[in-house]
Amino acid sequence: MSAVTFPILTVAIFLPLVGAGVVALIPQGRASLVRPVGLLFTVAELAVAGTIVAEFKANDAGFQFISQHAWLGQFGIGWKVGVDGISLFLVAITAVLFPVAMFGPKVVGDAKSFFAWMLLLEAALVGTFLAMDLFLFFVLFEVTLVPGYFLIAGWGGLRRNYAAMKFFIYTFAGSAFLFVGILALVFLVAPLNGGRETFDLITLARYASHLPTSDQELIFAAMAVAFAVKMPVVPFHTWMPDAYTEAPTAGSMILAGLLFKLGTYGILRFGVFLLPKAAIDLAPVLLTLGAVGIVYGAVVAAVQKDLKRLIAYGSVADVGFIVLGAFAFTNQGISGSVFEMVNHGLTTGALFFLVGMILERRGTLRISDLGGLQKSAPVLAGVFIVVVMAAVGLPGLNGFVGEFLVLVGTFITHRWWAVVGTSGVILSAIYLLWAYQRVFQGRPSGDNESVVDMTWREKAAMAPLLAGIVFLGIYPKPLLDRVTPAVSHLIEHVHYADPGFHIPAKGRTKIVYAVPATQNVDGGAQAPTGIQAAANNSGGNP
Amino acid sequence: MSGMLLAQSSGCQVTPGKVTGLCQAFNSLHIPVEYRTILPLLVLSIGSLVLLLVSAVMPKQSRPGLYPLLTAVISALAAGASVFQWVDIGNHGASEAIGNQILYDRFSVLFMLLISVATLFGALLSDSYLQREGLDGVEAYVLMLLASTGAMLMAASAGTIILFLGLEIMSIALYVMTAYHRRRAASGEGGLKYFILGSFSSAIFLYGAALAYGATGTTQFDEMGVFLARNTLPNDGVLLGGMALLIVGLGFKVAAVPFHFWSPDVYDAAPTPFTGYMAAVAKAAGFAGLFRVLLEGFATQQANWRPAIWLIAVLTLLVGSVMAIVQRDLKRMMAYSSISQAGYVLIGLQAASSQGTAAALFYLLTYTFIVAGTFAVIGLVQGEGEARNDLGAVRGLAKRRPGLALVMLVFLLAQAGVPFTSGFLAKFYVITAAVNRGQYALAVIGMLAAAIAAFFYLRVGLLMYSSPEVDAEGEPTDGATLAGLQPIPGFDTPALSAGPGAVAAAGSAGSAPVALLPPPVGKIRIPFTVGVTLAVCVAFTIFAGVSSPVLDFAKQATTLF
């Protein structure tokens, strides 16, 4: 690394935080300053994230740009942030989606507090993706709830208070298990680590697999509950349609596009990486929940009367894909899972944006009240169909790459789950295209005849999302080059922890986006010292 | 057994600072009094006498604000004295003093500091309240100083006798303080309830102390511990009975479930600044006593008392947070909230480790600031005559006083345990201690209780930030149909939900949501003293939430002498 002593990741976390403070301090009389200042900070954050992506060394499995400071020292808690292939693009998509969400949809009500909460949420989200200290992760994971809560409660729909409260309580209750799980892990590992307690991800990963299997499984289960609520997988999903539906457009974009990646990201980064053996043992449960989610989400989405709720349930199905891929424990599966996280951010963000436009124009999202919108708003309809196609998984758009990788990866190790998952591709086509048909096609009547098309601002805000959708669909290599090494490393780590676990040879020989063995830092030959190597590797970078 | 007891107690030895054995001839006994060990107590008790004296010689219409100012100065001096003691113990070590009756260690000094600070806040907050209510006078401040003296004595007690003495000094002052608002019927009623139930609990405590004495032959905690470590009681019924009664007596003071029934009534009845003072001081002193008794006196009996405390902690956490949800009155809600907060301190006690003690001390220390701030805000929004203690009073506060609403939000989030506030770290430390002792179930229950509690804290937050306008009929958006304010069968009679004089939800039967009263109108004036207190409390809440000096401080106080 070209002597990056500049703590760019810490800057990436604090920049939006400072922005939130600045926006909050703008006096009421200068309300016109709120938007430009907010824009300035999100664009600056985008530039920082862009720099991180540009400077990120591809084909490197370890954490990069690590910066570390002592914090609550007596518990071994530190400010430690780093980025690897798995988190890199989640940070990037965060930086992209925030300016779009903040400046695309119209803000109704108090813009100042809205922008301040949004910037605070951005800081917490970026921090959560970058945290390499379990305490820091948990703290930021919890902090995201507060702006999320106030965004729903302050700018949401009719039942916003109910939805906001439900959102907060569900996730908070889930976090209870995560919290105790993390603490149990720390204290059980401490004797192995010479009696020193630490919340450092790398150190914990080094020792956690030496714990008794039952302990590992219990801790993993505790973490899985929290992340399953956050994702959310069936049956922990009941808060989600309310939260997505009642949130303001920008809120839904961020909630659906980013906030709930914390669950899927968390279980990969902390569940699987720290406790691989337990993850393998409990994988059938999660795979089943994922497969059930795919079918259940799609079926329930198909019968929704409200367009926003339909997309919300569609998200349940998408989360099912992510979980399926993550717990297949194959290179393709996990890579596909990470890819799907990015995809889902783009497409769901775009879908909620589009739905928000319809709501703004028509004042309702009841599908039966809408119809024939493509006559009066052809551009809106065109963009909508492109995004729908991406969500459905049309080859050439990003959704296809992700779903393909997930299904291939799952098929290698868990054939029948993949079969069930594949049905989700068809089901998603049914509910999304049927929705498109009912909303945009047909003969417009009443207010539907005179719907204003997308404005220039909306087009400009939508452009980056569309560009991402098309680019990743046609040329996913840059992303996969950065994701796959980290994923291979994760899989090697799983192997090391559980030598009895083997990916069927058929699958291993056909790794699609494999990297050269020399760059795979701890390949199978070095397995016994694999974690050591990982730690050295990631520690040596800054 | 009795023969051995005699052997132990024969021979009265008096060395400076240490008296051993049972002394028959008291006239031959010279007990040295090390005044520095009780310096904060002396400052407070002499201070209260000075206040009385000043009030006697001053003309009837003296300058307003003189007594609170003097009280603030006295408590600041007491705080300074505690700091001196802290340093002194660092230099010369902890000791037993005044005929072994006072423990001079950092554990007690930490409580002295805490109590001094709480008294300072109490004085600052009471001034404007008492003036507004027309209750201005010296008595409130004298009682407050005396209650603090008793609380300090409890924290420094080396045996059940001094502990009881402190308990009574504190309690009697608190009974009067509860009933202080002469023109509020509820105040007198609450005072009487507190007095009667409090007397019962004191009697129970005393009986427990007597049984413990019967079982161990001593009232001193350290000697109890030594006796129990060296002897195995073949029949420990008396000992266990004594221990149980001591837990009940002190559990009453900290309002642990199921000894909590007085607490909502008393919190509601007492003048608001006194409620905040009581929530901090009485709880802290009660916990100081519990720690002394259980961790020092019954240190070897952990197998017996830890399960009991486990059960009490779980009940306290769950009953506190669930019952707070159904409250319609801010002060009653805060009463249940503070019950649930006591549950976390009990988790720290249950851990029976120095980590648990440090966590509990940190909890009490930070809670002092949070609770003072919360009741300061309630005192401001309730208006004259405590007319508006219902939830509707905070509605739209953000529009009326944005700063005040923000400050309140910080306190609410801190109590809910949201990161970057002291409340989060306090819960973190407590849960850490529990997990470190393998108490996973207790830890999970504690965190789930926090999730339940988050509901009512956030509801207040939401009300503050919702629109202050009264909803039109059937408007389903804002506060009126706020989540969870659905009527609860059997609870929501209009009288119960809104209090006297309110026409709440007239005719709302069954399914209709309970309407909140419209928010009060008029400007909220924030007196200077209250503003200062709020600023200090918020600053401390954030400071202790992001850094570790406060915990380091608490950690140094965990070695009981």
Q: Residue B455: its chain A contacts at CB < 8 A?
A: 165, 168-169
A149 interfaces chain B, CB cutoff of 8 Å:
yes
Inter-chain residue contact B476 with A158, CB threshold 8 Å:
yes
Query: pLDDT for A114-161, tens place per residue?
Result: 999 999 999 999 999 999 999 999 999 999 998 999 899 888 888 888
Inter-chain residue contact B465 with A161, CB threshold 8 Å:
no
Q: How does residue A506 score in pLDDT terms, banded at 50, 70 and 90?
A: very low
pLDDT mean over B346-352: 95
User: Which of B140, B121, B149, B134 minimizes the C-alpha distance to B178?
Assistant: B140
The pairs formed by A276-279 with CB atoms below 8 angstroms and a separation of 24 or more are A276/A209, A276/A493, A276/A494, A276/A496, A276/A497, A276/A498, A277/A209, A277/A213, A277/A216, A277/A497, A277/A498, A278/A213, A278/A216, A278/A217, A278/A219, A278/A220, A278/A221, A279/A220, A279/A327, A279/A329, A279/A494
B441 interfaces chain A, CB cutoff of 8 Å:
no
Query: pLDDT for B83-116, tens place per residue?
Result: 999 999 999 888 888 888 999 999 999 999 999 9
- Would you state the pLDDT for residue A434? 92
Distance set, CA A307 to CA A126, A239, A248, A250 (Å): 30, 17, 14, 16
Inter-chain residue contact A139 with B484, CB threshold 8 Å:
no
A475 or B499: whose pLDDT is higher? A475
Query: pLDDT for B452-476, tens place per residue?
Result: 999 899 889 888 887 765 443 333 3
Pair A305, A454: CB distance under 8 Å: no
Inter-chain residue contact A143 with B435, CB threshold 8 Å:
no
Inter-chain residue contact A161 with B443, CB threshold 8 Å:
no
User: In 3-state terms, what secondary structure has residue B387?
Assistant: coil
Percent of chain B exceeding pLDDT 90 equals 65
B552 interfaces chain A, CB cutoff of 8 Å:
yes
The shortest C-alpha distance from A28 to chain B (Å) reads 12
B443 interfaces chain A, CB cutoff of 8 Å:
yes
Distance of alpha carbon A1 from the chain centroid = 27
User: In 3-state terms, what secondary structure has residue A123?
Assistant: helix
Q: What is the CA radius of gyration of chain B?
A: 24
Inter-chain residue contact B451 with A177, CB threshold 8 Å:
no
Distance set, CA B522 to CA A524, B471, B525 (Å): 74, 19, 9
B3 interfaces chain A, CB cutoff of 8 Å:
no
Quick check: A541 pLDDT over 70?
Answer: no
Amino acid code (one letter) for A159: R
Quick check: B517 pLDDT over 80?
Answer: no
Residue from A140, A150, A175, A179 whose CB has the most chain B CBs within 10 Å, to mutate: A179
Query: pLDDT for A235-267, tens place per residue?
Result: 888 888 888 888 999 999 998 889 888 999 999
pLDDT mean over B416-420: 91
Q: Residue A169: its chain B contacts at CB < 8 A?
A: 451-452, 454-455
Pair B280, B255: CB distance under 8 Å: no
Quick check: A530 pLDDT over 50?
Answer: no
Q: Residue A74: its chain B contacts at CB < 8 A?
A: 548, 551-552, 555
- Name the B residues in 480-509 with CB < 8 Å from any A CB: 481-484
User: First CA to last CA across chain A, in angstroms?
Assistant: 7
What span, in angstroms and rounded, lies between the C-alpha atoms of A503 and A411?
11
Query: What is the phi/psi pair of residue A64, to 5°?
Result: -125, 165
Residue from A167, A168, A172 whose CB has the most chain B CBs within 10 Å, to mutate: A172
Quick check: A284 pLDDT over 60?
Answer: yes
Q: How does residue A196 score in pLDDT terms, banded at 50, 70 and 90?
A: confident
Distance set, CA B365 to CA B115, B279, B371, B533, B540 (Å): 9, 12, 10, 15, 10
Residue boundaries of the structural domains of chain A: 8-514+525-536
Token output for A21: 């403070």
Q: How does residue A532 score in pLDDT terms, banded at 50, 70 and 90?
A: very low
Q: How does residue A513 score in pLDDT terms, banded at 50, 70 and 90?
A: very low
Query: pLDDT for A48-80, tens place per residue?
Result: 999 999 999 887 888 989 888 888 877 888 899
B458 interfaces chain A, CB cutoff of 8 Å:
yes
User: Which of B320, B342, B267 minimizes the C-alpha distance to B455?
Assistant: B320
- Would you state the pLDDT for residue B13? 57
- Would you state the pLDDT for residue A531? 39
- Would you state the pLDDT for residue B469? 58
Quick check: A30 pLDDT over 50?
Answer: yes
Q: How does residue B370 score in pLDDT terms, banded at 50, 70 and 90?
A: very high
Quick check: B505 pLDDT over 50?
Answer: no
Q: Residue B478: its chain A contacts at CB < 8 A?
A: 161
Q: Identify the H or E element spanning B386.
A: none
B339 interfaces chain A, CB cutoff of 8 Å:
no
The DSSP-derived string for A405-457 is: HHHHHHHHH-HHHHHHHHHHHHHHHHHHHHHHHHHHSS---GGGGG-----HH
What span, in angstroms and rounded, lies between the C-alpha atoms of B155 and B537?
23
Query: pLDDT for B530-552, tens place per residue?
Result: 999 999 999 999 999 888 888 88
Query: pLDDT for A292-335, tens place per residue?
Result: 999 999 999 999 999 999 999 998 889 999 999 999 889 999 99
Inter-chain residue contact B555 with A168, CB threshold 8 Å:
no
- Would you state the pLDDT for residue B392? 86
Q: What mean pLDDT value characterizes chain A?
A: 86
- Would you state the pLDDT for residue B479? 42
Query: What is the phi/psi pair of residue A305, to 5°?
Result: -95, -15
B440 interfaces chain A, CB cutoff of 8 Å:
yes
- Would you state the pLDDT for residue B22? 55
A353 interfaces chain B, CB cutoff of 8 Å:
no
pLDDT mean over A176-189: 92
The shortest C-alpha distance from B82 to chain A (Å) reads 26
A434 interfaces chain B, CB cutoff of 8 Å:
no
Q: Residue A140: its chain B contacts at CB < 8 A?
A: 419
What span, in angstroms and rounded, lies between the C-alpha atoms of A37 and B527?
35
- Would you state the pLDDT for residue B295? 93
A114 interfaces chain B, CB cutoff of 8 Å:
no
The shortest CB-CB distance from B436 to any of A149, A173, A187 is to A187
B477 or B56: whose pLDDT is higher? B56
- Would you state the pLDDT for residue B482? 47
Inter-chain residue contact B465 with A184, CB threshold 8 Å:
no
For residue A167, what is the nearest residue in chain B, using CA coordinates? B455
A14 interfaces chain B, CB cutoff of 8 Å:
no
B476 interfaces chain A, CB cutoff of 8 Å:
yes
- Would you state the pLDDT for residue B15? 58
B431 interfaces chain A, CB cutoff of 8 Å:
yes
The shortest CB-CB distance from B477 to any of A158, A164, A184 is to A158
- Would you state the pLDDT for residue B14? 55
The shortest CB-CB distance from A168 to any of B436, B444, B454 is to B454
Query: pLDDT for B236-273, tens place per residue?
Result: 899 999 999 999 999 999 999 999 999 999 999 999 99
A155 interfaces chain B, CB cutoff of 8 Å:
no
Return the residue matching tokens 């800054």: A542
B197 or A71: whose pLDDT is higher? B197
Q: How does residue B60 score in pLDDT terms, banded at 50, 70 and 90?
A: low
For residue A163, what is the nearest residue in chain B, using CA coordinates? B483
- Would you state the pLDDT for residue B489? 40
The shortest CB-CB distance from A146 to any of B418, B432, B451 is to B418
Q: How does residue B500 score in pLDDT terms, banded at 50, 70 and 90?
A: very low
Quick check: B491 pLDDT over 60?
Answer: no
- Would you state the pLDDT for residue B560? 61
* Other residues' Cβ atoms within 10 Å of the Cβ of residue B64: 12
Q: How does residue B205 score in pLDDT terms, banded at 50, 70 and 90?
A: very high
The shortest CB-CB distance from A169 to any of B447, B451, B555 is to B451
Q: Residue B483: its chain A contacts at CB < 8 A?
A: 161-162, 164-166
pLDDT mean over B304-321: 96
Percent of chain A exceeding pLDDT 70 equals 91
Return the minimum-mean-pLDDT range out of A83-87, A359-363, B16-20: B16-20
* Other residues' Cβ atoms within 10 Å of the Cβ of residue B81: 23
pLDDT mean over B205-229: 94
What span, in angstroms and rounded, lies between the C-alpha atoms of A218 and B48?
57
Quick check: B424 pLDDT over 50?
Answer: yes
Token output for B298: 């019954």
B436 interfaces chain A, CB cutoff of 8 Å:
yes
Q: How does residue A526 score in pLDDT terms, banded at 50, 70 and 90?
A: very low
Q: What mean pLDDT value characterizes chain B?
A: 85
The shortest C-alpha distance from B346 to chain A (Å) reads 17
